[in-house]
Structure 1
Amino acid sequence: MAEITPPQGSEVAPEVAPQPPETAAGRARPQRQAGFGFIFGSALINAISFGIMIPILPNLIREMAGGDTAAASEWNVLFATTWGLMQLVFGPMLGMLSDRFGRRPVLLLSLFGLGVDFLFMAFAPTLWWLFLGRVLNGATAASFSTANAYLADVTPPERRAKVFGWMGSAFSFGFIIGPTLGGMLGEFDLRLPFMAAAALTFGNWLYGLFILPESLPPERRAKSYDWSRANPLGALKLLRSRPGLLGLAGVGFLFQISHMVLPTIFVLYTTYRYGWSPGVLGATFLLTGVLGVIVQMFLVGPVVGRIGERNAVLLGAVCGVLGFAWYGAASTGWLYLLGAPIFAGIGFMMPGLQGLMTRRVQPHEQGQLQGANQSLTGIASVTGPPLFGLVFAWSVRHDATLHAPGLAIYLAAGLLALAFALTLKVAQAPAAEPARA
C-alpha cells in the first residue's frame, strides 16, 4: 500500500515545525504509516462489526424475545432507528470535539464505546440491556467520520480521493470477513461473535492509545467549542458557508439513502424472487465484497488521477443507477449476479465526493464537516429502511398484478439519478484548498 506523505512544494503549511530535510523525512514516514495503519484498521473493525451482526443479531434478538419472530422484527426496527438517531444527534458534537481537541481522543472514545457495545451484546441479560448497548454505540459511532478527518489532515488534497477509496475498501473487506466470522462462531454460541469483536476492538483501542500520533496540531485546532454548531441544524451552517458544499452534501445524502435499499430488503428480495439459500447469500456477499475491494483499493486512485474527482463521482453514480436498474429487472439469480461488476463501480462515487468536499474547508473544520456528513448518514439510516421496506412490502402484495418486485430497487436507482444531476450542477473542483488558519 502506498505511503501517505506530506505534499511537496504545495502552498499548504507543513504538518510539523520546519526541520532539516533529512530529519523531517526520517520522522514523517513512521508517523504517517502508523497513523494510516490504525485508521484503516479502525474502519475495518467497524465494518467487520456490522458484518458480524448481519447473520447473528436478529437471531440473538429473537432468542431473547422468547422465539417470537414478529416481536424480534419490531425490536430490530427499534434498534436500527435508535442507532441512526444517535448518529444524527451526536455526529456533529464529536466532529467538533475532534476539531477542538484533536482526532486521536475522539477516535479512542469511539473505539472504546464500540468495544463496550459488543460486551453489552455478549452479556446482556435482557433486551433492554441490549438496547442500551446500541444507544451507546450510536452515540460514539464517529470513528469512521473522524478517521476521514484524520486522513484529510495528513494527505495532500490531490491524493485524498485515492486514500478515501482505500478506506471504502475496508467496508468491503468487512463484509467479506464479518458475516463469515459471525456465522462460524455463531454455530457454537450466538454471543461468541460479539466477544471476539470486543477483543478485536479493544486491541485496536490499545494500539491507538500507545502508538497513534495526533494529526491535528494545537495551532490548527478550533479555538473554541461552538455549541450552536454542535447539533444537526447547526452543522448545516458549515455546509451553507462554502460554495457548492451544501449541494455536495446533498449528493452524499442521496447516495447514503439509496444505499440503504440493499441492507433493508436484500435477503427478503432475493429469497422471494430467486429462492436463494443462506449459502448462496453468503457467496453473494463474498462476490460483492471482493469486487468492492478491487474497485476501491486498486482502481479509485488511477481512475481519479486520470479523470478527476468530479468525473469519478459522475462515473460512480452512473454505475450505481445501471446496477440498481439491473438488480431490479433481473428475472433470475444468475442475471442478478451478472450485474454485480457494473454495480461495483459505485465505489468511485464517495472517494471522489469526499475529495471535493474536504478541499472546501479549513483544517480546523474537517471534523465538523465529517460530523455533518455523519448526521446526514443518520438521517438516511432512519428514513431509508422504512421507505424501502414499505415499498418492497407493497410491491410483493401486488405482485400478481404489478409484476415489479424490484420496485424499491428502481426507487434507489431514481435517487442516484438525482444525485448524478445534482453533481453536474455543484461538483466543480475549487482552484485551491482554503488557506489554513
Structure 2
Amino acid sequence: MTRLTVVMLTVFVDSFGFGIVIPFLPLYASSLGASGLEVGLLLATYSLAQMIVAPRWGRLSDRVGRKPIMVIAAAGTCASFVVLGIGDNLALIFGGRALLGCFGVGYSTAQAWVADTTPIEERSRVLALIGASHSVGFALGPALGAVGVMTGGLSAPFWFAAGCAAVSALLAATLLPAAVPQPRTSTAPRLRDFSGNRSFAICLAVSFGLTYAFSNIEATFSLFTSDELAFTPTENGLFFVLIGLCAAATQVLVTRRLARRFPEHICVILGLVLLGAGAASIPFANSGASLIAPMVVLAAGFAITTPSLTAWVSRSAPADRQGEALGLSMSAAAMARIAGPGVGGLMYDELGHG
C-alpha cells in the first residue's frame, strides 16, 4: 500500500465519521429544544475552537512531522464524538462540539503531508485525489447515519462516528510512515510573517468568503428541507450523499483536468461561480426533484474550488511552513464558520425559509 493510499484511506474514514453526523446534528439539537439561532451557534462553536488551535497544530506539525498530529487529531475526534453521543442537554452538546473543534485538524494535516511530498506542479491534482477521498467519505457517511437514526435514534450517528475516528487513528498510527519534517529556514513563525504576501492574503479572504457562504447552507439546509419540503431525516441524509458523490466525481473527473490546463486562481474563480449559482437556486426548489440540480451545481463548484484553493495556499507559502500556512487557511475558514451558521440560523428564524 503506497503512502498516498494510506493518507487517502485515513482521510476517507475521518470524513466518513463526520458525514455520519452532519445531516442530523441540527435535528438532534432541535430535539433538545434548540432554536435556529442556537443550532447556528452550535455549529459555530466547533469553528471557534478550530480557529484558535489550527495554526498552533500546523506549526507543531511543521516541527514534529505530520503523522503524530494525524494520530492525535483522530483520537481526540473519537473522544469528542463520545461526549456528543452521551449528551442529553444542550450544554453537553456545546462542550462536545468545542472539543471536536480543538482536534479538527486531521484533513489540513493530510493536505500538508501532500505539500511535503508532491512537486508543486502536481500538487493540485494530488490534492484533488485527497479531496475526492474526503468527499466519498462524506457522501457515504449520511447513509449509515440514516440507518443509525432509524434503528437507534438521533444520538446513534455520534457513536458510529466515534468508531470511524478510532479506526482513522489506528490507520494513521500503524500504516502511515513517519516523515522527516522540513528543516526550518526561519524562527518564530507567526501570522505577521505572511502579512506582506499578497497572494496568501487573497487566499485567506477567499477561504473566509467561501466558508461563510457554505456554512450558512450547512446550518439551515436540513431545517429548510424539513420545514419546506417535509423531508425525513433519511431523505436529508440521502441528499448529503448526493452532494458528496457529486463532489468526488467532480474532483476525479473535472478538477484534475482543469488543474493541468489552468492556474489555481482561475480554477478557484470557476468553482466560486458554480457554487454561487447552485446556492442561489436552492430557495426556488419546491420538491425533492427540483432540488437535485442546484445541489449538483453547488457540489461541483465546491469540489473545484477547495483543492484549487489549497494548492494556491501551498504555492504561496515557504516549504518549511506548509503546515502553518494551511492551518492559517483553516483558521480563516473557521472564523467564517463562527459567523456564518449563527447569521444563517438567525435569518432562517427571522426572514423565512424560502
1:388–1:196 CA distance, 2 compared to 1 (3 A): closer
Matched, 1:367 2:343: no
Mapping of residues 155-174 of structure 1, within 5 Å: 155-174=118-137
The AA in structure 1 aligned to 2:115 is: A
Deviations 1:12-53 (A, max 9, x none): xxxxxxxxxxxxxxxxxx6xx22x223223322332222222
d(CA) in 2 for partners of 1:53 and 1:130? 13
d(CA) in 1 for partners of 2:219 and 2:82? 26
**Any conservation in 2 of the 1:264–1:385 contact (CA below 8 Å)?**
yes
The AA in structure 1 aligned to 2:61 is: S
| Structure 1 residue 288 displacement after superposition | 2.4
Mapping of residues 251-330 of structure 1, within 5 Å: 251-330=206-285
d(CA) in 2 for partners of 1:193 and 1:332? 26
**Any conservation in 2 of the 1:99–1:222 contact (CA below 8 Å)?**
no
1:381–1:271 CA distance, 2 compared to 1 (3 A): same
1:50–1:157 CA distance, 2 compared to 1 (3 A): same
Matched, 1:37 2:5: yes
d(CA) in 2 for partners of 1:198 and 1:275? 30
**What is the aligned counterpart of 1:337 among 283, 292, 305?**
292
Matched, 1:197 2:165: no
Give the number of aligned pairs.
352
d(CA) in 1 for partners of 2:334 and 2:135? 20
Deviations 1:372-431 (A, max 9, x none): 0121121111100122222333332xxxxxxxx55xxxxxxxxxxxxxxxxxxxxxxxxx
| Structure 1 residue 246 displacement after superposition | 0.3
1:218–1:358 CA distance, 2 compared to 1 (3 A): closer
The secondary structure found in structure 2 opposite 1:381 is helix
d(CA) in 2 for partners of 1:98 and 1:206? 18
Deviations 1:249-297 (A, max 9, x none): 1112111111112212212323444444445433322322221111012
Matched, 1:212 2:168: no
| Structure 1 residue 221 displacement after superposition | 4.3
Q: Counterpart of 1:242?
A: 197
1:119–1:386 CA distance, 2 compared to 1 (3 A): closer
Q: Counterpart of 2:339?
A: 383
Matched, 1:179 2:139: no
The AA in structure 2 aligned to 1:202 is: A
d(CA) in 1 for partners of 2:304 and 2:11? 18
**Any conservation in 2 of the 1:38–1:204 contact (CA below 8 Å)?**
no
d(CA) in 2 for partners of 1:336 and 1:192? 27
**Any conservation in 2 of the 1:222–1:365 contact (CA below 8 Å)?**
no
TM-score by length of 2: 0.88
d(CA) in 1 for partners of 2:264 and 2:181? 30
Deviates more, 1:261-270 or 1:310-319: 261-270
Deviations 1:162-212 (A, max 9, x none): 122222223422332222112212333344433333233222212222221
d(CA) in 2 for partners of 1:175 and 1:110? 18
Q: Counterpart of 1:47?
A: 15
**Any conservation in 2 of the 1:102–1:221 contact (CA below 8 Å)?**
no
The AA in structure 2 aligned to 1:394 is: E
1:103–1:83 CA distance, 2 compared to 1 (3 A): same
The AA in structure 2 aligned to 1:207 is: L
d(CA) in 2 for partners of 1:245 and 1:164? 18
d(CA) in 1 for partners of 2:164 and 2:157? 11
Give the gaps of 5 or more residues in structure 2.
none
The secondary structure found in structure 2 opposite 1:69 is coil
TM-score by length of 1: 0.73
Residue identity over aligned pairs, in percent, reads: 26
1:184–1:273 CA distance, 2 compared to 1 (3 A): closer
**Any conservation in 2 of the 1:315–1:345 contact (CA below 8 Å)?**
no
1:270–1:371 CA distance, 2 compared to 1 (3 A): same
**What is the aligned counterpart of 2:53 among 78, 90, 93?**
90
**Any conservation in 1 of the 2:208–2:336 contact (CA below 8 Å)?**
yes
**Any conservation in 2 of the 1:101–1:221 contact (CA below 8 Å)?**
no
**Any conservation in 2 of the 1:100–1:222 contact (CA below 8 Å)?**
no
Going by fraction, where is helix more abundant, 1 or 2? 2
Deviates more, 1:177-186 or 1:121-130: 121-130
CA RMSD of aligned residues (A): 2.7
| Structure 1 residue 115 displacement after superposition | 1.2
Q: Of the two, which has the highest radius of gyration? A: 1
**Any conservation in 1 of the 2:38–2:342 contact (CA below 8 Å)?**
no
**What is the aligned counterpart of 1:133 among 90, 96, 101?**
96
1:364–1:76 CA distance, 2 compared to 1 (3 A): same
d(CA) in 2 for partners of 1:179 and 1:108? 24
**Any conservation in 2 of the 1:44–1:173 contact (CA below 8 Å)?**
yes
**What is the aligned counterpart of 1:122 among 58, 73, 85?**
85
The secondary structure found in structure 2 opposite 1:187 is helix
| Structure 1 residue 77 displacement after superposition | 4.5
